[in-house]
């Protein structure tokens, strides 16, 4: 007797995460066959030799004795209080330790915050392009992600009037990713004010993904959305993964500010979910206070001469020399969203290109359509490899595109 198929839950029907999808699985196969793959699909600093600050490591070691038991469902007090102090230093004065939740990375907190908020048929405004977890976190709870355009022609800046037209009586929240993944865009204060005003006018929760808050290049300026949002609930997400190069610690946080009196039921629901998973990873939480309160070493990496700055410059130089590629120079974060000229390569398709680049040049990138865009002429690269490797990658890409033209 045959065993019937075991299907996946229908909750996952519209959930995609191609950054770790078919191309990444093929890369693993090639590695097992002995090939060395340059993996530019994920912003994973430790894989490129970046280290978390030594002070963070020492803080965890010195507090291991206090890290063996469960902690409070919202996180240890020193970590939550450190987030409060950081917010106060930025001008967000209405956050207390009770308003902060520590999670197993920001990813867990995104899921918890959506689960506590959404019912079937609810809608959430999500940027296009987006970090695909945001779209997935809406879909997986039976709600509808509604993508607001941040088109290449506007340097990936949100179109406010287009956003306004997408709001319905079912819209519950708006997601704002700044500095942006995947494009590297950084939003001006005026643009953020317009987005906040739109949210406040329609009583929408603001989910502010600011995990790349201190990763800025040249004259880009980061404006915390919580400093502008006073008349609706604002959740600010950040963590240790990127700025502090500590992805493996899986420590993120969400701090709630703005108008909270009407949101007691919602915040209680998030605490219920936090309690159901008992607590976040405790050893890593002991690094938060040291990270936020100490020397901010990220600036030595993003300033001229720093490794991330020079990798970015190598990428921009390589694209300037290219016959086929263009890019909106990333002002922040860890990525560049690169465009291929489809007038010169009419049949360019990001998925096919990604597979060809992997098979023929052993470079792994993320196709642009992985980020919920309607076009197929972009791909995302991380800025993490050093300048020499970045230059080599651009040369490999150019040679493959030459082959496309010659074919």
Nearest by Cα to 83 from 95, 66, 71: 95
> Could you say which of 259, 293, 327 is where a domain stops?
293
Residue 76 lies in a domain: yes
Of the three residues 266, 293, 320, the one that is the final residue of a domain is 293
Q: What is the pLDDT of residues 33-43, one digit of tens each?
A: 999 999 999 99
**Domain annotation covers residue 138:** yes
Instruction: Find the CATH number of the domain harbouring 79.
Output: 3.40.640.10
Q: Is 49 left (phi over 0), alpha (psi -120 to 50) or beta?
A: left
**Does the residue 1 lie in any domain?**
no
Q: Give phi and psi for 363, each to the nearest 5.
A: -120, 130
Report if residue 311 sits inside a domain.
yes
Question: Distance of CA 92 to CAs 10, 290, 296, Å?
Answer: 41, 20, 20
Pick from 267, 211, 246, 351: which is nearest to 99 by CA?
267
At which of 293, 309, 344 does a domain end?
A: 293
Q: Which pLDDT score, from 0 to 100, does residue 343 have? A: 96
Block means of pLDDT (10 residues each) for the chain, 407 residues, are: 88 83 93 96 94 96 95 98 97 97 97 97 97 96 96 96 97 98 98 98 98 97 98 98 96 98 97 97 97 94 97 98 98 98 96 97 96 96 97 98 92
**Residue 2 domain-assigned?**
no
pTM over 0.75: yes
How many structural domains is the chain composed of? 2
Same domain? 147 vs 90: yes
- Residue 272 maps to a domain: yes
Query: Are 91 and 239 within one domain?
Result: yes
pLDDT at 1: 77
Domain that holds residue 387: 10-51+300-406
Instruction: Tell me: do 39 and 64 sit in the same domain.
Output: no
The whole-number pLDDT of residue 259 equals 96
- CATH number of the domain to which 356 belongs: 3.90.1150.10
Q: Tally Cβ neighbours within 10 Å of residue 121.
A: 9
Contacts of 394 (CB under 8 A, 6+ apart): 314, 315, 318, 319, 321, 322, 325
């Amino acid at each position: 007797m045959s065993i019937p198929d075991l299907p996946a839950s229908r909750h996952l029907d519209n959930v995609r995460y191609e950054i770790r999808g078919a191309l990444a699985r093929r890369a693993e196969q090639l590695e097992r066959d002995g090939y060395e793959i340059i993996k530019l699909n994920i912003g994973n600093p430790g894989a490129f030799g970046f280290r978390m600050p030594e002070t963070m490591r020492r803080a965890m070691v010195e507090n291991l004795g206090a890290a063996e038991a469960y902690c409070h469902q919202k996180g240890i007090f020193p970590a939550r209080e450190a987030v409060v102090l950081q917010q106060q230093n930025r001008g967000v004065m209405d956050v207390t330790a009770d308003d902060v939740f520590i999670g197993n990375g920001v990813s867990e907190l995104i899921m918890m915050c959506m689960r506590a908020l959404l019912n079937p048929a609810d809608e959430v405004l999500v940027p296009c392009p987006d970090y695909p977890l945001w779209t997935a976190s809406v879909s997986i709870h039976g709600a509808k992600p509604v993508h607001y355009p941040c088109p290449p022609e506007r340097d990936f800046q949100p179109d406010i009037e287009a956003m306004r037209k997408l709001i319905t009586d079912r819209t519950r929240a708006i997601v704002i990713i700044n500095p942006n993944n995947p494009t590297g865009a950084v939003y001006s204060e005026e643009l953020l004010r317009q987005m906040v005003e739109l949210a406040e006018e329609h009583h929408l929760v603001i989910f502010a993904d600011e995990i790349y808050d201190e990763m800025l290049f040249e004259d880009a300026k980061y404006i915390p959305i919580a400093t502008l949002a006073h008349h609706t609930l604002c959740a600010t997400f950040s963590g240790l993964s990127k700025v502090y190069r500590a992805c493996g610690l899986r420590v993120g946080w969400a701090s709630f500010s703005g108008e909270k009196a009407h949101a007691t039921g919602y915040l209680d629901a998030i605490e219920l979910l936090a309690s159901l998973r008992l607590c976040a990873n405790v050893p890593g939480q002991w690094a938060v206070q040291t990270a936020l309160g100490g020397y901010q070493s990220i600036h030595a990496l993003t300033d001229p001469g720093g490794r991330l700055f020079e990798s970015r410059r190598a990428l921009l130089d390589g694209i300037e020399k290219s016959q086929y590629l263009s890019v909106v120079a990333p002002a922040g974060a860890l990525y560049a969203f690169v465009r291929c000229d489809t007038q010169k390569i009419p049949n360019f398709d990001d998925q096919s290109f990604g597979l060809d680049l992997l098979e023929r040049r052993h470079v792994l990138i993320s196709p642009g359509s992985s980020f919920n865009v309607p076009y197929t002429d972009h791909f995302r690269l991380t800025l993490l490899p050093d300048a020499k490797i970045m230059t080599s990658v651009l040369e490999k890409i150019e040679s493959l595109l030459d082959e496309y033209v010659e074919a």
